[in-house]
Every structure is written in structure tokens, then in C-alpha cells.
Structure 1
Amino acid sequence: MNQPTDAVATRISAIIIERLELEDFTVEDFPRDAILFAPDTEGGLDLDSIASLEIVSALADEYDLDFDEIAREDFMSVETLAAYIIRELAALGRQPN
């Protein structure tokens, strides 16, 4: 990952941990490539639709973006979310904070 994407992925991880109270994780060991909504028996985080709303709300506030048009494949993991946010910010002529 390049530096801006890594910084965004770190912030996404922190938001997910904080909003969903995932006490078993730290930002450093959060699995950025894990499928967010896959069962934990398949290596995913087993998040539900309520969790997705929490995440989207926090990311919309953090990056001042509209997530109404996000595709499923962009919401698969922290890595795909970070890439999506970088693309959307670039399309608006903005850089991540």
C-alpha cells in the first residue's frame, strides 16, 4: 500500500474498532484484507447490516463523502474501502486528511 492509502486504511481500521467496540483488535493487528461481512469461520469479521451503517456513517463524517453509490466490491475489506475513499477524494480534487 502506498502512504495515503495506508493512512486511510489505518483510520478506517481505527473507526471500525472504535464504533463497533472490537476490543480484540488494535489498529496494528486489524486484518485489513479480511472480508468484513464473511463469517469468522471463513476468515471474515462477520459484521452485519447494522455494523455497515455504523461504518458508513463514521466514514461519511470523517471524509465528507456520500456513500450512497458505493458498490459491494468496494465495501469488502478495509483495503477496498481505503482504495474507494482515495478514488472518490481524487475525483473531487481532494486529498485525504
Structure 2
Amino acid sequence: MTVYCNYVWKVDADTEPRDLLTQFAREHFHAHEAVPIDTTQYGIDHGLNDVRAVFKSEQHWIAFCCRYQHDVVATESKVLAFAQTHGLTVERMR
């Protein structure tokens, strides 16, 4: 079951999601890079496939989803910490 985190990053229309997500993956998941899964989804957790980033270009969002409910709180903490460190705007998804 996939569970979305409550927070998303608001990004500009010209944001390149892979570059930003690679930085996030390196800083918070000790990954080498964000790996494209398809045109909108990226693996960011060093191959575990427990956390994904989803680029929603229509909303100018990058959302995050977890395979397991118990990973949501920790993932949200990482999402918020990265946003604060890098001056990203955060919105509540729901």
C-alpha cells in the first residue's frame, strides 16, 4: 500500500526535479542520485524502493510517498528539514 506524505514542495514551472531530488537523496538517504522510474516518479532512497518522489507538474509540486505507513513520519521530517535548509516552499497536500 502506498501512503502519501502530508507535505509537498512547491516548485517553479522550470524546476528540474531530478537535480533537486538528487541533492535530497544524497543528503537524507545517502544515495548517489535520484533514479527516474517513469516520467513523473523518482526513486530517492538508495534502491530500497520504500520512498518515492512524484513530480506533479500541473500543481508545481513534488510530493512524496512511502511504501509503508510507518515510514511517513520520518520521511516528512526529512522533507521539511531539506525544505528549510534550502529555502523551499512547503504546502500541505491534503
Is the TM-score greater than 0.5? Answer: no
Of the two, which has the highest radius of gyration? 1
Structure possessing the higher relative contact order (Cα contacts under 8 Å, 6 or more residues apart):
2
TM-score w.r.t. length of structure 1: 0.38
TM norm structure 2? 0.39
| Structure with more helix by fraction | 1
